[in-house]
Amino acid sequence: MRIISADSAAALLDEQFNARFLVASASVMVEPPYREPSSVLAEPIFREVDSGFEVIVHEAELCVSLLDKMRADVVHLDMSLRGVSIEDLSPVELANLRTSKVGRQNILKILPRLRKIAGEIKRVHGIDMLAIGKESVPVRIAELTAGSEAILFACKKVVDDGQPVMLGLPMMCQPKVHENRVYLCSLISAEHDVRSFAVDADESLRKVKLTETLNPCARGFRALKIEPTR
Amino acid sequence: MRIISADSAAALLDEQFNARFLVASASVMVEPPYREPSSVLAEPIFREVDSGFEVIVHEAELCVSLLDKMRADVVHLDMSLRGVSIEDLSPVELANLRTSKVGRQNILKILPRLRKIAGEIKRVHGIDMLAIGKESVPVRIAELTAGSEAILFACKKVVDDGQPVMLGLPMMCQPKVHENRVYLCSLISAEHDVRSFAVDADESLRKVKLTETLNPCARGFRALKIEPTR
Amino acid sequence: MRIISADSAAALLDEQFNARFLVASASVMVEPPYREPSSVLAEPIFREVDSGFEVIVHEAELCVSLLDKMRADVVHLDMSLRGVSIEDLSPVELANLRTSKVGRQNILKILPRLRKIAGEIKRVHGIDMLAIGKESVPVRIAELTAGSEAILFACKKVVDDGQPVMLGLPMMCQPKVHENRVYLCSLISAEHDVRSFAVDADESLRKVKLTETLNPCARGFRALKIEPTR
């Protein structure tokens, strides 16, 4: 199966390690054996964390952009609704799925737009867009991809602004810089061979100092202090 | 403690990575330090996945077969009911344990047969059969054992049928072939030294090609594509 | 941030691997990158496991003792109440937090004493004591510290009594002896670089034999058999 997926990841943190601004979104193409992306579209977003579910609409649009370039068998969206097809997800069916009240209300706000995108994907490409979320390996790979791109976007911001930032990374992963690439490797059990990377075309990595730290207030999360090196 | 346990594992998958046929059952003897089995009884079952709880009765019978050959202190069954003794598990007590409605109904169907087996074990061997499930290391070792035996049963089927199969492996483990053994090593945190293996007496491994892949629709699960090498 | 935290850990087990006596409490100072303690206060407690929540009051007092010696920015207590400040935690607010009925009753018993300690910390040092529990890396480091100290306290007891003990270790960690130190390294995903250690000033380690085993009835937990070497 050729699977297209998308996610948003990494957040600028304040001094108390609270997430403030979501940094990047990415869509990915993932093929067997489903360990890394084979194609990537990424964008800086620097959007307030509280804007929440709105970002999923943008992720769906990024999937469409990738789908316009290459063939896929299915689209995996980062919504955990047991893998139902978004096109079939009426407000009535949503009420039957076990979701929290707040979660359901947030989904209802974006559902018309998501269903329109899903209908378009079905009509043009003949494939489904599934709300599979946490169960999907391609969604995890999209998260690691958005995270590695976010590191470069944040480095560029640090170089431009001359101010250090603390970047909160996706859950359970660790960054590794190798030449002009920044890898983000999963640390989740049984994901030891799952990773993604971003290419530093702007050579921002050379102009900053990276220091990894654990997030003391959120077990499983790491952060990267990014400082300018004048 | 000398602990006998049993479990069933690995499933033939369809093209969408859905589990169709459960492949193998195994009972094991596990002794300190509880990392590998010291004795094994395994059987191919190739049973429809939906037959569900029925398979537990067969697992209990496999425990009895192993118990007829060697002494043990307790039997661990793959049912997660807080470690209660099956013999003491009346329908009334079952109602007091927190189980889902569907789960309770499935257990009620097999409970008379399980209690009969538990009574027999108590009478003949003087030991308890516990519904400990997820909390038991020997149950995990039985799962890895059934999984490694399932790989060989599936290889044999591929050699006999001349058709490839996709075999879904137990949760969070990875296969390793070494000489005429196929190991299944746990990838769960703090189980890095827990594993089992099956011996390829029929030399089926030489007649197939194995390709490992992640299951893209079920995080934590891996699958093995097994193809004949003519 | 400089964070002080405390926890209690490790238990003497009976023959069926049931926890009987909690062995040690420790408070720790943890600083960036939050992987190990920079200062430690530890005490043997050998208290009945069922005494439960009482031990948290003692842990808060150990935090105060450490705070009397060095400056910190916040105190993390091993109570999982979403990080609320203990000082602000009235019985009314506690009722609004999602806790089990039994949990709430246990907390209510110790809440007056905890709030008194929190008020004292605020008055004298100007910092908060948070009920952050499971989300806190410093709480995990305090747990590993108490566990490594408990190994030495248990070794000393074995040398004194001439009787072997089985010591149940904290969740998902593994002991390593190096020279006169016993390390306890986390085995939790994404905590591969988190650990603590205790220094064997009494040279008890030389007078015992340590054998590691998995706890067969509690997945993720390991135990240490400690025997005297006459």
- Per CB-CB distance under 8 Å, the chain A contacts of C189 are 172, 187-189, 220
- Per CB-CB distance under 8 Å, the chain A contacts of B16 are 1
Name A181's bridge partners: A178, A199
Average pLDDT, chain B: 95
pLDDT score of A50: 80
Task: Please give the full DSSP string across C136-194, using - where no structure is assigned.
Answer: -HHHHHHHHHHHHHHHHHHHHHHHHH---EEEEPPTTEEEEEETTEEEEEE-STT-TT-
B73 shares contact with chain C (CB less than 8 Å): no
Asked if the model's pLDDT at residue A230 lies above 80, the reply is no
The predicted-structure confidence for C4-42, as pLDDT tens digits, reads as follows 999 999 999 999 999 999 999 999 999 999 999 999 999
C172 shares contact with chain B (CB less than 8 Å): yes
pLDDT score of A52: 66
pLDDT score of B52: 66
User: Hey, are the CB atoms on C134 and A215 less than 8 Å from each other?
Assistant: no
Beta strands C208-214; C222-228: pairing state: antiparallel
Q: From the CA of C206, how many Å to the nearest CA of chain A?
A: 35
The predicted-structure confidence for B81-94, as pLDDT tens digits, reads as follows 999 999 999 888 88
pLDDT score of C102: 82
Q: Helix or strand or coil: residue A179?
A: coil
Average pLDDT, chain A: 95
Asked if the model's pLDDT at residue A91 lies above 90, the reply is no
C-contacting chains (≥3 CB pairs under 8 Å): A, B
Contact A151, A175 (CB under 8 A): yes
Q: Quick check: ipTM above 0.85?
A: yes
pLDDT score of A93: 87
Cα of B210 vs its chain's centroid, Å? 21
The predicted-structure confidence for A125-155, as pLDDT tens digits, reads as follows 999 999 999 999 999 999 999 999 999 999 9
Residue A83 falls in which region: left (phi positive, over 0), alpha (psi -120 to 50) or beta: left
Best residue in B17, B211, B219 for a mutation probing chain A (most A CBs within 10 Å): B219
Q: Which residues of chain C have pLDDT under 70?
A: 52
User: Hey, are the CB atoms on B214 and A33 less than 8 Å from each other?
Assistant: yes
B224 shares contact with chain C (CB less than 8 Å): no
Closest CA to C154 of C226, C84, C94: C226
Give the one of C32, C134, C189 whose C-beta lies nearest to A213's C-beta.
C32
Give the one of A3, A83, A134 whose C-beta lies nearest to B219's C-beta.
A134
A33 shares contact with chain B (CB less than 8 Å): yes
